[in-house]
Structures are given as C-alpha cells and as structure tokens.
Structure 1
Amino acid sequence: MPTVILLTYVMASVITSIQVIMNKRNPVTASLWLVTIWLAPYLGSFLYYILGINRVNRKAVSLRKGVDQYRFPILENFQVNESELSRYGISEHLIPLAKSVHRLVEQDLLSGNSIVPLFSGNMTYVAMIDAIDNANRSIVLMTYIFHADGIGDKFITALRQALARGVEIRVLLDGVMAHLTRPSIIKALRTAGIPYALFNSPLLARQFFFFNLRSHRKICVIDGLIGFTGGFNIHRDYWSPNPEQEVFQDTHFRVTGPIVAQLSNVFVNEWLYSSGETLRGEPWFFEEPETQEIGSVLARGIAAGPDERWERLRGAYLTALNVAQQSVRIMSPYFIPDEVLVAAIDDAINRQVAVDIIIPESGSKILLAATMGRINETLQHGARLWLCPSPFNHSKLMTVDNQWLLMGSGNWDERSLRLNYEFNMECYNTAIAEDVNKLFSAHQNAGRQLTYEEYMKRSFYERFLDGCARIFSPFL
C-alpha cells in the first residue's frame, strides 16, 4: 500500500511539474510552484490545479469564437496614423512608445478627446451619480468592489431611478468580491431589479477552478457618450457625507469623445463572457452623429488580462521607461516590480532620468515590506522613493517627461501584471500630465523621502522581513 501511495504521488507530481514547465513563463513563479508540488505531497499538485492554471484563456476564446467583434466605422475619422504622430504634437522620442503600444494592444490611438481628472471620492462619485441621473438611454458599470451601503446606497438609488425612467442598465461585478462584501451587493441589486452579472463567480462549478483570475477593471459609460475610468471602486472608505472627515484617496477620470467607444467595447466583451448576452448597436454605442471631436487629447485604452497574447500592461511600463529622457513619476499603492521592470527603472536612472516613486506608508505592512525588499537596489542607483502618510492613496498613475500619462486600474505587482483583468488608458497631452504631476508634487511635499542610506539603517529584523516578503511577492 505505501508503495502505491508513493507511486501515485510521484506520477501526480511529475505530470503537474510538466504542466508548470510547459506553461509558466516566469521562472521565479515556476520554481516556487515546483518546490510546492514536490515538498507538499498531493497538496502541492492540488493547489496548482486550483490556483495555477489559466483556464480563462480557453473559455474566453471558445466563448468568443464565431462572434463578430463590434466595429466602429465612425472611429476611422479619429484614428491617428503612425506616419502623422509628430503632426499631433507628440515629441519625437515618444513616437516609438505610441507605435509599440499600438502593436501591443491592437488598438488605435484616437484624437479629439476630453479628459478631466477627478482627485477625490467626493469629486468622482458626485460626477458619476450626476451622469447617471441624467442618463437617457443606457448605463454600463463595471467595478471590482461595490459596497451596498454608504456611497454604494446612493449609486443603487440613482440606478434604480434611471431604470424606472426606461434606461437600459447592466452592472458587472467581480465574482469573488461580490460574494465577500457585506451587506450583500448581490441582494441589493436583485432587490432593486438592476440587471447584473458576475465575472468568474466561485460558486459556479464551471468557474470554480479559475476564481484566482479577477476582473479589477473600473469602467462606467453613460449613453455611450460619457465615460469614467481610473482607480476608484464604489467603496465606503473613500466617501463621507462630512467633507471634513478624512477618507481614503484615489484618482478617476471623466472622459468624452471617441475614446468612450473603446471603454464600451471592453465592457460589452466582458459582459458577453460573464452573462452570454451580446450588446451591440443602440443603445450601447452611438457613433454618428453623436461621436464628435470635442477635445485635444490623444488617448488609447489598454485592456490587459491573462488571456491576451502579450503582457500589455508590462509592455507599456517597459517601453515608457525605455523612452523617457527627463522624468518618470510613478504612483501605486502596490509597487512590487519584477526584475525586468527594476532593470528598466535602473536603466532610466543611468540615462540621468529623474525617477520618483510614490507609495502610501499607511497601507499593508506585508506589501510595504515586499516593496522595500524589491526596491533597495534601485534606491542605491538613485531612484527617489516617497512614503506618503494617511489617508491611504489607491491611485495608479505614471507620467513620462511631463507629456505622457498612463492611468487606470493596474498596479505594479504580479497580480495586476499576470492574473487580473485590468483597464488602463494612455494619454499624450501636456496639460493632463501637468495636472497629474501637481498631485505627485503635493504628495511628495506631504510625504517623506526614504534614501538608500536610511533604508540600510533599518534593523536587521526589518530587512530580513523585507527579504522574506520579496521572495513570496509572486503570491501577494
């Protein structure tokens, strides 16, 4: 009997190890899985089968097979031809960035957009609810966290009233977070009669084995004409009826113009995957005559996820770092870059690019330790790390040379780069970049800089914990 158990263990471990070797591109992640498989008999193979396999790729491809992707003929009027990038005011050294992202995301850069930054929960939620209150035809809303109380109750009320006016509504939630939030957002939406769907609900047998792949995207589109995207969830901790009360911070953007069609397209494809319902044409898309050139911002959506051919978010980060000539500013609540991104940051510093990284000091101690364990060598090269005091800031922003902005839902960690479905947007516009850089400057003034010398003065115990957190960062 022991021989049978041993042989079964060896066979299961060998088969699982072959799966890891053939499918895991990251050597660190692959090594950790191999160690887990062989040192934890049966359990290691079981965990890999539950958490390690990307089954969403196969399901997404099979579900969309034979379904025509929605086309936007009117957007041809706003597509920026690669041969004319300089005519739109893009600096010569940023043109390779625009071309690279185009090939990564297979999405056109669009002209004629207006983008307004929203730097607080009060600004963001008021703007979104006002747009919902004035909706005439359709509302689509995708978010990672949707609390049913606090500010969430106001959203549900606004959506219910819009539904009563005859507005078509679809709400898409991450399946795991929707089941974890209390009070239940699922019950609240069902009671209000608001159509909703869940992305990868772990309670469904067919989706149980890929519950580790989550939709972290935040998109809202009103009447196919007004869009909102960025980092804000509908979260009670980011809003208070008392404007004097300290709440968590984030950054969102109100967008109008042709770029809204790209936001809508991400939603309808995600909705198709999650619900099986196809949303096409009116009232979800309005291309003519409503789609007009209403601003001067060049913008492009970057929908990234584990079922894409290329690592789109990582590619955008790397190319932006590689083309930078003057400055790079990064803000992320979870900043745990891998070796490739760290090398690109170091290379930018060696080219005498000023690199500022801004993270909250008041966040998770484990994640902060993982950041410290990853970034200490970069500090030695000359990066400037700023630790910001409370309130916690959840913004995910990056600017390059005061001309290019990347914003959205993606963090600088393994989960955003490899597992989550994220939505970011790149903008080529000096005015927008300057607005965001003012936010960076305000946080630098309020925070404190941690130098390499100060880092080395940390106790042995702290630096040991940093190293431990770094080793397990692929699982954080």
Structure 2
Amino acid sequence: MSILLSLIYFTISISAAIRVIMTKRNPLAAALWLVTIWFAPYLGPLLYYLLGINRVKRKAIHLRRGIDHYRYPVLNQYQVDAHALREHGIPDHFKPLVKSVHNLTEQHLLAGNRIVPLFSGETAYSAMIAEITAAKQSIALMTYIFHADGIGEKFIAALRQAHVRGVEIRVLLDGVMAHLAQPSITQALRAANIPYALFNSPLLAHRVFFLNLRSHRKICVIDGRIGFTGGFNIHRDYWSPDPEKRVFQDTHFRLTGPIVTHLSNVFVDEWLYSSGETLRGDPWFSETPEFPETGSVLARGIAAGPDERWERLRGSYLTALNVATQSVRIMSPYFIPDEVLLAAIDDAINRQVAVDILIPESGSKVLLAATMGRINETLKHGARLWLCPPPFNHSKLMIVDDQWLLMGSGNWDERSLRLNYEFDVECYDSVLVENINNLFIAHQKAARQLTYEVYRHRPFHDRLFDGCARLLSPFL
C-alpha cells in the first residue's frame, strides 16, 4: 500500500512540476512552486493544483465564445488615434503610449469625457449614493469589498429604494471577500431583494480551483451614462458619521461621456461569467448618439486579468515609464515591482526623469518590507521614496509628464499584475492631472522621505527581513 501511495505521489508531483515548467512565465514564481511541490510532500502538489493553475482563462473563453463585446455604433465620432493628439493639446511623445495601450486593450481612446476626482470617502460615497437615489433605469455595481454595516447600510438602503422604484439592479461581489465580510453582505442583499452574483465563490465545487483568482475591480454605472471607478471599496474604515474621526484615505472618480461604455462592457462581461446572464442594450447601455455630460478628457478603460492574451496593466506601466521625458509620480498602497518594472524605472532615471513614489508607512509590515527589499537599488539610482503617515492611503495613481494619468484598482504587485481582475482608466488632460498632482504634492509634504543612505544604515535585522519578504513577493 505504501508503495502504491508513493507511486501516486511521485506521478502527481512530476505532472505538477512539468506543468509549472511549461506554463509559468515568471522564473522566480516557477522556482518557488517547484520547491513547494517537492519539499512539501503531498501538500505541495495539492497547493499547486488549488492555487497555481489558471482555470479562469479556459472558463472565460468558453463562456464568451460566440458573444461579441458590446460596441456602440455611435462611438466612432469620439475615437481618437495617435496622430490626432496635437489637436487635443497632447505632446507627440505620447504617441507610442496611445498605440501600445490600443494594441493591449483593443479599445480606442475616446474624446469628450468629463472626469471628476473624489478625494475622500465622504465625497465619493455621497456622490455614488446620490446617483443611485436618482437612477431611473439601471444600476450596475461591482466591488471587491462590500461591508453591510457602516457606509454599507446607506448603500443597501439606497439600492433597496431603487429596486422598489423598478430600477434594474445587478451587484457583483468577489466570492472570497463576500464570504469573509461580517455581518454577511449576501444576507443583507437577499433581505433587500437586490439581485447579486459572486465572482469565483470558493463554496461552489466547480469554482474551488479558482480560489487564487479574485475580482479586484470597482465599477458603478448608473443608467448607462454615469460611471464611478477608482480605489474605493464600500468599506467601513473609509467613512465615519463622526467628521472628527480619522478614516482611511483613497481616491475615486466620477465619469461621464463615452468612457462610461468601457465600464459597462467590463461589468456585463464579468456578470456573464459569474451568473450566466447576458445584459445587452437598454437599460444597461445608452443607445442615443449624444451624452448629457461631456468634457475635454481623452480616456480609455484598461480591463486587466489572467484570462487576457496580454498583461495589460504591466504593459501600460512599462510603456508609460518608457515615454516619460520629465516626471513620473506613483502612488500605490502595495508597491512591489518586479525586475522588469524596476529596470524601466531605472531607465527613466537615467534619462533624467524625476521619479517620485509615494506609499503608506502604515499597513502590513511584510508588504512594506517587500517594498524595501525590492526598491533599495532603485533608490541608489535616484528614485525618491516617500512614506505617508497614517491614516492608511489606498490610492492607486500614476502621473507622467503632467499630461497623463492612470487611475483605478491596480497595484504594483504580482497579485494585481498576474492574478487579480483589475480595471484602470488612462486619462490625457492637463487640468485633471494638475488636480491629481496637487493631491500628490500635499501627501508628499506630509510624508517622510526614505533615501538610500537612510535605508543603508537601517539595522541589519530590518534589512534581512526586507530580503526575506522580497523572496515571498510572488505570493503576496
């Protein structure tokens, strides 16, 4: 019997190891999986088959076969190609970025958008609830975390009232985070008769192997015409009825104009995957050729995930770094770039581009240590790292040459780049970027700069911990 078990174990382990070698593109991740498989008997192969295989790609392709992404026939008038940038006041050196992101996303850059930043939980949540309250046809809400208490109570009340008015509602939650939330958000939505679905719920037998693939997107679309996206979850720590209480910080955006169609497309595709229901036409999309609120921002949605042919988020970061001529500003709560992204940052510094990176000093000590372990050589080359004091700042922003902004749900870590489903929006507009620059500079003034000299003189045990955390970064 023991010989038979050993044969089964070696067969499974060899099969897992071959699959790792043939499919894992990241050498470090592949090496760590091989070590786990061979040095954690029985548990290692089990962990790989549970967490290491991307089954979502096959499932998504199967579901979407024969179903075209919804495309507005009226969007042609808003499409902008790289050769028309000057007409919108955008310098020519951004042409490679426009072309690259178009090829990555298969989405056109769209003119005529109005994008308003929302800099606090009070501002963002109030704006979203106001639009939900005024909704006439439909509400599409997708979020990673939805707490049923605190600010979540106000959202549920507004959604319930909209449902009573006859508004079509769909709420899409990440399957893991929905089950971890207490009090239960699923029970609260059921009690309010609000239709919802879970993305890759681990409680479903056929989805248990998708445990490591999460939907981190935050999208809300009202009547197919008004959109919200950015970094805010519906999270109790970002809002308080007491205006004097210090709550966590983040940045969200209200979007109007043709860019809202990109948000809607992502929602209906992910709803199809999660529920099997196809949402097309009214009331989910506006069919009229004009949008009620338009502006001067050129924008494009970037939907990234492990089922896509290209690594869209990584490609956007890399090309933006490569076209920068003056400055790059990055704000991220989880900044653990890989060697390719670090090389692009170093190359920008070599071209005399000023690179400023702003991360929260509060939060997970392991994640902060992983950042330190990754970035210390880049600090030596000339990048400037700023540590923001509490409260925790969850904003995810990238600014290039005071003309281009990337905002949304994506972080600078392996989980966002390879495993999570993320949604970001690239924006070309100097006025919008100036507004975000002012936010960045305000946080920068309150932050503490960590120079390479300061890093080098940290205690040995701290630097050793940084190095150990860096080795774990593919799993963080």
Q: TM-score range by the shorter chain?
A: over 0.9
- Over 4 Å off, 4+ runs: none
**Partner of residue 15, structure 1:** 15
Asked if structure 2 preserves the Cα contact closer than 8 Å seen for 1:326 and 1:352, the reply is yes
Match status 1:363 vs 2:363: yes
The whole-number CA distance in structure 1 between the counterparts of 2:76 and 2:259 is: 12
**Partner of residue 149, structure 2:** 149
The whole-number CA distance in structure 2 between the counterparts of 1:156 and 1:18 is: 48
Q: How many Å apart are 1:32 and its aligned residue?
A: 0.4
**Partner of residue 282, structure 2:** 282
Residues 399-448 of structure 1, C-alpha deviation per residue, up to 9 Å, x if partnerless? 00000000000000000000000000000000111111111101110011
Give the secondary-structure state (helix, strand or coil) at the position aligned to 2:267: helix
Q: How many Å apart are 1:90 and its aligned residue?
A: 1.6
The whole-number CA distance in structure 1 between the counterparts of 2:336 and 2:294 is: 38
**Partner of residue 432, structure 1:** 432
Task: Give the AA of the match of 1:254.
Answer: R
Residues 324-365 of structure 1, C-alpha deviation per residue, up to 9 Å, x if partnerless? 000000000000000000000011011110000000001110
**Partner of residue 67, structure 1:** 67
| TM-score for both structures, normalised by structure 2 | 0.99
**Partner of residue 36, structure 1:** 36
Task: Give the AA of the match of 1:181.
Answer: A
Match status 1:200 vs 2:228: no
**Partner of residue 400, structure 1:** 400
Q: How many Å apart are 1:38 and its aligned residue?
A: 1.0
The whole-number CA distance in structure 2 between the counterparts of 1:182 and 1:454 is: 41
Residues 305-338 of structure 1, C-alpha deviation per residue, up to 9 Å, x if partnerless? 0000000000000000011000000000000000
Asked if structure 1 preserves the Cα contact closer than 8 Å seen for 2:256 and 2:293, the reply is no
Alpha-carbon spacing, 1:179–1:472, altered in 2? closer, same or farther (3 Å): same
Match status 1:112 vs 2:112: yes
Q: How many Å apart are 1:11 and its aligned residue?
A: 2.0
Match status 1:465 vs 2:472: no
Task: Give the AA of the match of 1:106.
Answer: E
Report which stretch shifted further, 240-249 or 66-75. 66-75
Q: How many Å apart are 1:293 and its aligned residue?
A: 6.7
Q: How many Å apart are 1:41 and its aligned residue?
A: 1.7
Q: Where do residues 202-221 of structure 1 align in structure 2 (5 Å cutoff)? A: 202-221=202-221
Asked if structure 2 preserves the Cα contact closer than 8 Å seen for 1:86 and 1:92, the reply is yes
Q: Where do residues 315-464 of structure 1 align in structure 2 (5 Å cutoff)? A: 315-464=315-464
Task: Give the AA of the match of 1:25.
Answer: R
The whole-number CA distance in structure 1 between the counterparts of 2:365 and 2:201 is: 29
The whole-number CA distance in structure 1 between the counterparts of 2:436 and 2:239 is: 21
The whole-number CA distance in structure 1 between the counterparts of 2:2 and 2:176 is: 39
Q: How many Å apart are 1:291 and its aligned residue?
A: 2.6
Asked if structure 1 preserves the Cα contact closer than 8 Å seen for 2:105 and 2:302, the reply is yes
The whole-number CA distance in structure 2 between the counterparts of 1:69 and 1:43 is: 40
Match status 1:235 vs 2:235: yes
Give the secondary-structure state (helix, strand or coil) at the position aligned to 1:73: coil
Task: Give the AA of the match of 2:204.
Answer: L
**Partner of residue 130, structure 2:** 130
**Partner of residue 161, structure 1:** 161
Asked if structure 2 preserves the Cα contact closer than 8 Å seen for 1:225 and 1:290, the reply is no
Asked if structure 1 preserves the Cα contact closer than 8 Å seen for 2:221 and 2:264, the reply is yes
Asked if structure 2 preserves the Cα contact closer than 8 Å seen for 1:117 and 1:251, the reply is yes
The whole-number CA distance in structure 1 between the counterparts of 2:439 and 2:83 is: 34
Q: Where do residues 45-56 of structure 1 align in structure 2 (5 Å cutoff)? A: 45-56=45-56
Asked if structure 1 preserves the Cα contact closer than 8 Å seen for 2:346 and 2:378, the reply is yes
Asked if structure 2 preserves the Cα contact closer than 8 Å seen for 1:334 and 1:367, the reply is yes
**Partner of residue 24, structure 1:** 24
Give the secondary-structure state (helix, strand or coil) at the position aligned to 1:161: helix
Asked if structure 2 preserves the Cα contact closer than 8 Å seen for 1:214 and 1:421, the reply is yes
Residues 137-170 of structure 1, C-alpha deviation per residue, up to 9 Å, x if partnerless? 1100000000000000000000000111111100
The whole-number CA distance in structure 2 between the counterparts of 1:68 and 1:456 is: 54
The whole-number CA distance in structure 1 between the counterparts of 2:3 and 2:245 is: 65
The whole-number CA distance in structure 2 between the counterparts of 1:241 and 1:399 is: 33
Which structure 1 residue ranges, 5 or more long, are not aligned?
A: none
The whole-number CA distance in structure 1 between the counterparts of 2:78 and 2:8 is: 60
Match status 1:188 vs 2:206: no
**Partner of residue 224, structure 1:** 224
Asked if structure 1 preserves the Cα contact closer than 8 Å seen for 2:81 and 2:98, the reply is no
The whole-number CA distance in structure 1 between the counterparts of 2:9 and 2:397 is: 46
Asked if structure 2 preserves the Cα contact closer than 8 Å seen for 1:232 and 1:251, the reply is yes
**Considering only aligned residues, what root-mean-square deviation do their CA atoms show, in Å?**
1.0
The whole-number CA distance in structure 1 between the counterparts of 2:414 and 2:295 is: 35
Residues 173-230 of structure 1, C-alpha deviation per residue, up to 9 Å, x if partnerless? 0000000000000000000000000000000011011111000000000111110000
Which structure 2 residue ranges, 5 or more long, are not aligned?
A: none
Q: How many Å apart are 1:2 and its aligned residue?
A: 4.4
The whole-number CA distance in structure 1 between the counterparts of 2:292 and 2:222 is: 16
The whole-number CA distance in structure 2 between the counterparts of 1:238 and 1:292 is: 31
Q: How many Å apart are 1:290 and its aligned residue?
A: 4.4
Give the secondary-structure state (helix, strand or coil) at the position aligned to 1:232: coil
Asked if structure 1 preserves the Cα contact closer than 8 Å seen for 2:361 and 2:389, the reply is yes
Asked if structure 1 preserves the Cα contact closer than 8 Å seen for 2:281 and 2:287, the reply is no
Asked if structure 2 preserves the Cα contact closer than 8 Å seen for 1:86 and 1:95, the reply is no
Alpha-carbon spacing, 1:290–1:169, altered in 2? closer, same or farther (3 Å): farther
**Partner of residue 170, structure 1:** 170
Give the secondary-structure state (helix, strand or coil) at the position aligned to 2:80: coil
Q: How many Å apart are 1:302 and its aligned residue?
A: 0.1
The whole-number CA distance in structure 1 between the counterparts of 2:373 and 2:81 is: 43
The whole-number CA distance in structure 1 between the counterparts of 2:334 and 2:128 is: 26
Asked if structure 1 preserves the Cα contact closer than 8 Å seen for 2:170 and 2:195, the reply is yes
Report which stretch shifted further, 170-179 or 66-75. 66-75
Q: How many Å apart are 1:6 and its aligned residue?
A: 3.4
Task: Give the AA of the match of 2:436.
Answer: V
Task: Give the AA of the match of 2:149.
Answer: D
Asked if structure 2 preserves the Cα contact closer than 8 Å seen for 1:258 and 1:293, the reply is no
Asked if structure 2 preserves the Cα contact closer than 8 Å seen for 1:218 and 1:229, the reply is yes
The whole-number CA distance in structure 1 between the counterparts of 2:51 and 2:376 is: 30
Task: Give the AA of the match of 2:162.
Answer: A
Task: Give the AA of the match of 2:458.
Answer: R
**Partner of residue 88, structure 2:** 88
Identity of aligned residues (%): 75
**Partner of residue 298, structure 1:** 298
Give the secondary-structure state (helix, strand or coil) at the position aligned to 1:358: strand
Give the secondary-structure state (helix, strand or coil) at the position aligned to 1:221: strand
The whole-number CA distance in structure 1 between the counterparts of 2:384 and 2:452 is: 9
Give the secondary-structure state (helix, strand or coil) at the position aligned to 1:314: helix
Task: Give the AA of the match of 1:343.
Answer: A
Give the secondary-structure state (helix, strand or coil) at the position aligned to 2:146: coil
Give the secondary-structure state (helix, strand or coil) at the position aligned to 2:423: strand
**Partner of residue 273, structure 2:** 273
